[in-house]
Structure 1
Amino acid sequence: MTKSDQSHRFYYQITEAQGLEKLIDTRFSRLLKRSNLSLNDFIEQRIQVNDQTAVAATELHPGDQISYLHFRSDETEYTYPIDIIYEDEQLLAIEKPDCLTVVPTTTHYFNSVLNLMKERLQRPDLSPLHRLDIESSGVLLFSKYKEDRSALQLLFENKQVNKLYQTLVYGKFDPTIKTISGDMKRNKSSAIYSKYYLDRAGQQTLTEIVEVNTSENFSELVVRPVSGFTNQIRCHLADLGHSIIGDKKYFPDEQVYLDWFATDHLDERMILDRQALHCREISFKHPFSGKRIVINSDSRQFARKLKIVRDHFTTR
């Protein structure tokens, strides 16, 4: 079997009554587009309902099981080397590219960081200890063996890992701001389901501002997420009116994200095709050796984005 012939079947439980065609439109529209198949051929070749073939007019009911057959050839193959920047008996750290998911998803299954590294190193027990968004880059830690994973995971659960991120934001950031805090909540008024907003009355999440370098049009920051919530840095900075350059989801005009998601059209206001958020450093006390470990990124990916942003504003 060649790589392009490799496949994986995803399974989903239906929770509300709806037509199959509507479900394809809401959940599988990008997969349909990338497959280059017609709607009917996509359903016939890729979709099953309760392990049976289906048609567009099939009605789905709560409790039904739908499955989707995904091929490696549906994905853009990632062929560049992923640099290993630290390794010991229990741990592995890599330089995550800014175009790959950490764990497998329906659109990035074979070309997720986890599956690419498992394949390359022939380590089936490899497991990420934390997450970075698909468009975020930098230091990413893995546990190499199942038996060591719990002790390593406790470092993150007990907030014993110090992480520093570099980021570029729109506008002139106030250097007197040292912390951002509040409760992160789902923004029910947003057309973007996965978007959060910050309720400043709470204390659930905390980001520290470590360094600030400003210019007239953008600022370069180093930040430390003390808590570790999904989208935390992105949400916190957007709440201050300084969304991350290239971040479509937290850009003030939500239509930018909606247009990009539907058509892949990238608004010129993004400046960057991917967000400028980079994990520069991770440090912690090793639970097995007791040594203080500091893992640094070479920051080349971030430097490239910084140059693009500087050039953009210099030529204006």
Structure 2
Amino acid sequence: MPSPLPMRDGVGATRLHVPLRGPWPTVSAYMVERFFHLDPELLLHRFDKGDIVASDGSAVARDAPLGSVEFVWYYREPPTEQAIPFTEEILHQDDHLVVVDKPHFLPTTPGGKFLQNSALVRLRNRLGNPDLAPIHRLDRATAGLLMFAARPATRGAYQLLFEKRQVQKVYEAVSARPAEWDQTRFPLVYRNHIEKLRAQVRVEVDDEREPNAETLIEVIDADERVVHTLLRPHSGKMHQLRVHLAAVGLGILNDRFYPELLDDGPDDYARPLQLLARELRFVDPLSGEDRVFTTRRVLAEAPVSGA
């Protein structure tokens, strides 16, 4: 469904589905309850200013009865953002594809307290391309290769590569060396069942269900302090690599989620998660050529002698 509002500062308008029936007398009453964490007077003032619009772009009045519109659009009020002091690097750009080297701490897309400080919005503004869209995603804490489609007409061809697992992905990680370290266990393939449940920041692991996540784990190097691993995921479940390394006793350095969930706190830029999306390989669905992209970033905690 096309938005009646244009892109603004690299960010599209938000669409909200409004129930056609319910206990709310008006659309605004529903939204006041839906967004209970916001000041209701400020929200109602946005109706009065014409900031909440219907599918035809017309303003929705604060007294518009429930059922008069099924969808409304509005711009998110930009949060007070702390600037992320790291810059994404463009590694490749053509008419269809943009590949960047994402720094740690930068989210792929807007969400929560990050809006302008997201790779997508930064690149839309930097390249002047409101049609730019992510083909896949990286966790905010993870650095490395990230691909964006430059044109809606060819976006699906690249997204289909990921859906069909036709992209070879390689990651690196650095973990604290366990007290009992046995390098002869590796390489190994780890499998389990991972599921992301709504409103939970960590994924759920169910060892009774058929595995849906698989990773080949190899050792690049190890010293008396850390273990440097190469990871080849066969699937792309949320937090998969973090979960799998924690499960084999190699929880990633500076991981605040696994194996234990630590208290939330401000970003510590001196302690980034030691996980890096290192390489992407695939056959370009448009040109048929072999594509290989490699990060220029390194993990700060990796052994100096590592590959």
Partner Cα separation in structure 2 for residue 214 and residue 283 of structure 1: 26
Q: What amino acid is the match of 1:297?
A: T
Look up the match of 1:102: 108
**How far is 1:79 from its partner?**
5.9
1:180 matched to 2:178: no
Listed one character per residue, the Cα deviations across residues 76-124 of structure 1 (whole Å, up to 9, x for unaligned) are: 2346542111223321100111111101113111211101100110111
Look up the match of 1:124: 130
Contact 1:98–1:274 (8 Å) recurs in 2: yes
1:291 matched to 2:289: yes
1:232 matched to 2:240: yes
Listed one character per residue, the Cα deviations across residues 200-247 of structure 1 (whole Å, up to 9, x for unaligned) are: 763311101133422334211010111111111011111223211111
Q: 1:49 to 1:298 in 2, by over 3 A?
A: same
1:89 matched to 2:95: yes
Look up the match of 2:219: 211
Partner Cα separation in structure 2 for residue 131 and residue 165 of structure 1: 14
Partner Cα separation in structure 2 for residue 13 and residue 234 of structure 1: 37
Q: 1:108 to 1:187 in 2, by over 3 A?
A: closer
> After TM superposition, what 4+ stretches of structure 1 lie above 6 angstroms from structure 2?
6-10, 12-15, 65-69
TM-score (norm. length: structure 1): 0.69
Look up the match of 1:162: 168
* SS across alignment from 1:151: helix
Partner Cα separation in structure 2 for residue 291 and residue 143 of structure 1: 17
Q: 1:93 to 1:179 in 2, by over 3 A?
A: same
Q: What amino acid is the match of 1:179?
A: V
Q: 1:75 to 1:193 in 2, by over 3 A?
A: closer
Q: 1:226 to 1:9 in 2, by over 3 A?
A: closer
Q: Point out where structure 2 has 5 or more consecutive residues left out of the alignment.
A: 1-7, 23-31, 49-66
Look up the match of 1:57: none
Look up the match of 1:148: 154
Partner Cα separation in structure 1 for residue 182 and residue 129 of structure 2: 46
Partner Cα separation in structure 1 for residue 139 and residue 196 of structure 2: 17
Q: Point out where structure 1 has 5 or more consecutive residues left out of the alignment.
A: 29-41, 53-62, 311-316
Contact 2:84–2:105 (8 Å) recurs in 1: no
Percent identity over paired residues: 25
TM-score (norm. length: structure 2): 0.71
Aligned residues: 265
**Structure with greater Cα Rg:** 2
Look up the match of 2:53: none
Look up the match of 2:177: 171
Listed one character per residue, the Cα deviations across residues 126-185 of structure 1 (whole Å, up to 9, x for unaligned) are: 111111000100010111100001111111111110011010123346432311001113
Q: 1:102 to 1:265 in 2, by over 3 A?
A: closer
Partner Cα separation in structure 1 for residue 72 and residue 224 of structure 2: 52
Q: What amino acid is the match of 1:181?
A: R
* SS across alignment from 1:95: strand
Listed one character per residue, the Cα deviations across residues 265-295 of structure 1 (whole Å, up to 9, x for unaligned) are: 97xxxx9633111001101011111111110
Contact 1:47–1:69 (8 Å) recurs in 2: no
Q: 1:291 to 1:107 in 2, by over 3 A?
A: same
Q: 1:198 to 1:98 in 2, by over 3 A?
A: farther
Contact 2:219–2:227 (8 Å) recurs in 1: no
**How far is 1:249 from its partner?**
1.0
Look up the match of 1:264: 266
**How far is 1:187 from its partner?**
8.0
Q: Is 240-249 or 192-201 further displaced after alignment?
A: 192-201
Contact 1:100–1:111 (8 Å) recurs in 2: yes
